[in-house]
Amino acid sequence: MSTEASVPIRLAQTLGITSSLMLGGLSLGFSSFTVPRLMESPTPLMLRQWKKMYIAGRNVAIPTALLSSLSYFYLAYRSHNSNPFSSSLSSSTTAYALSGLLTIGIVPVTIIVLGSTNKKLERKEEEMRSLKDGDEVVQVGLGEENAHVLIDRWATLNLGRVVMLVAASIVGIWTSVSN
């Protein structure tokens, strides 16, 4: 890409970097601020709040990850097409493509890495919702699968997505500044 970047390129850089950083901050906030506060709540309330947090996060994360990754992929395409006579991929093309893959990669990571924990938490939340007022919640004999352990595990696994998003942002910033 030329040193005088066009408006679409600057817009794509801004959208890609800002949205991946925002999403990384949101995810970090869930793991480091929200989940510790949830853990202080009684189990039924904690599970309801986790489910609401998860749904709200999912509704923001998927479109934001898509916007960010499409911006990075556009930048990779434009940087590759800026030198049509080169048969090899430039470092900018590779870096922007990597940022795009890291950003959209949080979706399959959610399914593969966090999927079983999410399902267990959703089942526990449904079980708690089905209890009648006055029913006592007992988590004895559940071993390592009680709700607090599952939510703590979720917060820890979620940090992997934070690393992916921060790495995507750093690569995106470095590549944008270097060109």
**136 occurs within a structural domain:** no
pLDDT value at 143 more than 70: no
pLDDT digits (tens, 9 = 90+) for 50-86: 999 999 999 999 999 999 999 999 999 999 876 655 5
**137 occurs within a structural domain:** no
**58 occurs within a structural domain:** yes
**1 occurs within a structural domain:** no
- Look up residue 11 and give its two tokens: 């817009």
**pLDDT of amino acid 141:** 42
**167 occurs within a structural domain:** yes
Query: Amino acid identity of 78?
Result: R
**73 occurs within a structural domain:** yes
Distance CA 15, CA 10 (A): 9
**126 occurs within a structural domain:** yes
Asked if 125 and 151 count as a contact pair (C-beta separation under 8 A), the reply is: no
Average pLDDT, the chain: 90
Asked if 68 and 20 count as a contact pair (C-beta separation under 8 A), the reply is: yes
**135 occurs within a structural domain:** no
Mean pLDDT across the stretch 13-18? 98
Distance CA 129, CA 45 (A): 10
- pTM value is 0.86
What is the count of structural domains for the chain? 1
**pLDDT of amino acid 87:** 54
pLDDT digits (tens, 9 = 90+) for 98-133: 999 999 999 999 999 999 999 999 999 998 888 765
Q: Residue 31: which domain range?
A: 7-82+90-130+142-178
Distance CA 125, CA 147 (A): 9
